[in-house]
Chain A
């Protein structure tokens, strides 16, 4: 006897839910494959090939949620788990005061497939391992480099979403990324410099187009220059931030506060709440008029552009900050009605079959301005140009932040001059974004993303992309990131 199809499993679960009297239910069946090759100090430290298959059933009963999941996909387990989800929802309903009401969403029947040129899982492992080893050899060719690492990562998610409302969505999604890091030693100090491709929904062409050997040579040179560079003098500087660096700044200081579940208190016990409270929507000056932050889950190749979210809501594009004013949230079908919105923004995502979907940051990006990078720099007398990610920390309402970076250059009289080290800047989110007085044009726009955005209890890892062009910020407090005694 042949094994039942996913559709047959889904039908089995949804019939149990419908019979229970629940007002809504859905099932996600997911089969994920991950390949991760990690090199460390000229050796292949590990190659892991991970298969993760299972399903999760979500039930809304009398306005309260229940969810159950299992890695055993069988004719016995699917109804057991569906019944368990119903029982759990009934338990939740027994103490519920306020009922969950879902925003309306049209029924969708669709199939979403990531376009790619080269299937990363079809590329011979020998070829990938060779690239990892050659990249590390290139890093070590530079005198002063003491340690190296390189990694290649690829993921395929095959997923089926079916709801009691009639939506039926199939997904075959790819994502990939690669990086390398050199750590240099000098005078008992050490410093690292990295190259990262963005995480994107592309095939192995993402890796082939990156030219790892050229980038390895560059970051090795810069690691050695960085470890020997003078430490920054604390004080006020104008900052010009590159797109990779800005992706994290946007993520922490705009992305998280724009999640409506946080603003409504759902994350009060863990990730935190938000200073962008609902009364501020439409009036609060978040940034200068140069600041336009747009959520776009429709841009091809970006991580949150999955066609539909895990509520079965179609991906969209909308404004978060328009001309500096806070105007929009990331929402799902549960929280959107709480601020009077008729439809969800489609930002409800789980990190796998075993977790319940929660509101996630969309692909929020900084819209390009009109300046060239040279024009941004030309008007800076004393500033710092920052590339990449370093130390980062922000309070639980997303006001007080502090960021480092991966590489820093002093800007003197309009020109990038020499490298610095130990640069840390800090501020208060709206003050910082109000100090933005220039964003470079579309030709300099780059996209970087994250797959490790922690939120939820049990913890989940969110995926999203943040695009930006370089931007300039005036008179930002910079401190030296080292011991102070």
Chain B
């Protein structure tokens, strides 16, 4: 027997999730039981060398059950939604919980909560299929072919049903859709790049982004080598997002309290330029806000860094309770903004620059030292020398060594927040910035 009903093979509906959760909760013998369902349909068209190299479509449902007996807990999951498999998954979770030592940090699942209703499932994305993805891929490839350039990239779309419920009365269900486009244009050894992710597949701006990547690739053709050293820089939004992603990942409250964090002792202190504010904005139409987290907590609009001052940490539920934190902040829709007057565009940032390195994106950013959040990484897909307000040459890619806590202490100029995403970060809104100094430690061969 399956629980996909007449709609099968459609996604799990709210009613089906309610049925599934009641089935698990009524059959469970545990003190606490929590069920999570993530039923996702996703498709990607991938291209390289102006050819489609991969065209895939998949459906994966996942059902996870966590049970607890007196602080002993166990979790089991399955991709099989048949009645027998669900019963077997519950039994596995119960078996684990019965032999697991008591977890001193165990907390019952959250109680009932009215989750905010957000526009997370745009019809045009939820119904987009392989033909729509192929159309966009073909558009990008066609533009590049006309210019005798090579296109490599992806168009993807996904639709998901997400549910969370517990015998405490917790119940949440949401549909979520997401679409992405990313493109690398190769002009011989030179590359240009652009990417977008949005709840609406109609907002990917494929043509505009393709033309931008083509223009960047052409400008990257004549490359010169500059020595490693400290340079003023202009960082485009994707590069800013890459640096901030590691800062955000390091905000774990437990590490903070145990002294194994770069932020130890810095809560309520200024950690970056006093004009910078970082907030979670799940209601922003260009961000990927959600109604609730996988823990069954409501997503929250909250300021994390307020005019440079660190106001929030990323709490697990136990640490939050221990510290008396009533509302656990979430981090899925980040917006970084500056107080004061932004310049209108990246072009205007260049115009106001005497000499700087313009960085389109970073690649393979990794921590070198978690004590001071020193990071390393490479520039990628468009690194340029700017002199007297204009790009004068592409330059060979640099490796950098910097801590975002150092380089964002003072920002010279900035734009308004813009959409940014790269291969290692989720979608965020961040400005392009001009920084007075950035440490490039070595140069590569291209």
Binding site for B on A (CB under 8 A): 41, 43-54, 56, 64-74, 76-77, 80, 84-85, 87-89, 91-92, 94-98, 124-126, 129, 133, 146-147, 183, 185, 188-190, 264-270, 272, 275, 354-356, 358, 391-397, 399-400, 402, 404, 422, 424, 426, 428, 457-458, 479, 481-485
Q: List 26 A-B contacts (CB under 8 A).
A: A50-B76, A51-B78, A51-B85, A54-B60, A65-B54, A67-B54, A69-B59, A71-B61, A73-B80, A84-B57, A87-B130, A98-B51, A146-B258, A185-B259, A188-B264, A265-B49, A270-B154, A356-B56, A391-B368, A395-B397, A397-B444, A399-B444, A399-B446, A400-B397, A482-B369, A483-B406
Residues on B with beta carbons closer than 8 Å to the beta carbon of A67 = 54-57
Are A404 and B368 within 8 A (Cβ)?
yes
Q: How far is the CA of A479 from the CA of B441 in the complex (A)?
A: 10
Are A393 and B376 within 8 A (Cβ)?
yes
Asked if B231 is an interface residue, CB under 8 A from chain A, the answer is no
Residues on B with beta carbons closer than 8 Å to the beta carbon of A54 = 60, 79
Are A49 and B80 within 8 A (Cβ)?
no
Known: A68-B58, A125-B96, A391-B376. A269 touches B369 (CB 8 A): no
Are B100 and A47 within 8 A (Cβ)?
yes
Q: How far is the CA of A45 from the CA of B317 in the complex (A)?
A: 13
Chain A, Cβ-Cβ closest to B380: A396
Q: How far is the CA of A231 from the CA of B259 in the complex (A)?
A: 20
Interface-located stretch among B1-9, B109-117, B270-278, B336-344? B1-9
Are B77 and A49 within 8 A (Cβ)?
yes
Given A68-B58, A73-B80, A393-B365, 15 other A-B residues pairs in contact with their CB atoms under 8 A: A49-B75, A53-B80, A65-B52, A129-B99, A146-B258, A189-B371, A265-B49, A266-B48, A267-B152, A354-B60, A395-B399, A400-B442, A400-B443, A400-B444, A484-B401
Binding site for A on B (CB under 8 A): 2, 4, 8-9, 42, 44-46, 48-62, 73-81, 85, 89, 92-93, 95-96, 99-101, 103-105, 130-131, 134, 137-138, 141, 150, 152-154, 156, 182-184, 186, 191, 193, 258-260, 264, 363-372, 374, 376-378, 380, 397, 399, 401, 403, 406, 423, 439, 441-446
Residues on A with beta carbons closer than 8 Å to the beta carbon of B442 = 400, 426
Q: Which of A44, A95, A484 contacts B439 (CB 8 A)?
A: A484
Residues on A with beta carbons closer than 8 Å to the beta carbon of B46 = 269, 457
Residues on B with beta carbons closer than 8 Å to the beta carbon of A68 = 56-58
Are B182 and A269 within 8 A (Cβ)?
yes
Are B55 and A76 within 8 A (Cβ)?
no
**How many contacting A-B pairs (Cβ < 8 A)?**
259
Are A268 and B184 within 8 A (Cβ)?
yes
Residues on A with beta carbons closer than 8 Å to the beta carbon of B78 = 51-53
Known: A67-B54, A92-B52, A396-B378. A190 touches B371 (CB 8 A): yes
Task: Determine chain A's interface SS by DSSP, over half rule.
Answer: mixed
Residues on A with beta carbons closer than 8 Å to the beta carbon of B152 = 265-269
Q: Which of A43, A45, A65, A129 contacts B53 (CB 8 A)?
A: A65
Chain B, Cβ-Cβ closest to A58: B56
The 8 A-B pairs of least Cβ separation, nearest first, read A400-B444, A268-B152, A71-B79, A69-B58, A483-B372, A269-B152, A269-B184, A67-B56
Residues on B with beta carbons closer than 8 Å to the beta carbon of A72 = 2, 4, 8-9, 59, 61, 81
Which of A95, A188, A269 has the most chain B CB atoms inside 10 A of its CB?
A269
Are A354 and B182 within 8 A (Cβ)?
no
Residues on B with beta carbons closer than 8 Å to the beta carbon of A98 = 51
Are B439 and A400 within 8 A (Cβ)?
no
Which of B81, B99, B182 has the most chain A CB atoms inside 10 A of its CB?
B99
Are B100 and A44 within 8 A (Cβ)?
yes
Q: How far is the CA of A80 from the CA of B446 in the complex (A)?
A: 47
Q: How far is the CA of A355 from the CA of B62 in the complex (A)?
A: 16
Chain B, Cβ-Cβ closest to A483: B372
Q: How far is the CA of A53 from the CA of B442 in the complex (A)?
A: 46
Known: A190-B371, A399-B445. A70 touches B58 (CB 8 A): yes
Residues on B with beta carbons closer than 8 Å to the beta carbon of A266 = 48-49, 53, 152
Which of B55, B95, B130 has the most chain A CB atoms inside 10 A of its CB?
B55
Q: How far is the CA of A50 from the CA of B184 in the complex (A)?
A: 36
Are A396 and B363 within 8 A (Cβ)?
yes
Q: How far is the CA of A483 from the CA of B364 in the complex (A)?
A: 19
CB distance from B403 to the nearest CB of A (A): 6
CB distance from B424 to the nearest CB of A (A): 9
Are A95 and B369 within 8 A (Cβ)?
no
Q: How far is the CA of A52 from the CA of B441 in the complex (A)?
A: 44
Q: How far is the CA of A69 from the CA of B44 in the complex (A)?
A: 12
Residues on B with beta carbons closer than 8 Å to the beta carbon of A354 = 58, 60
Q: Which of A185, A424, A428 contacts B444 (CB 8 A)?
A: A428
Q: How far is the CA of A87 from the CA of B131 in the complex (A)?
A: 10
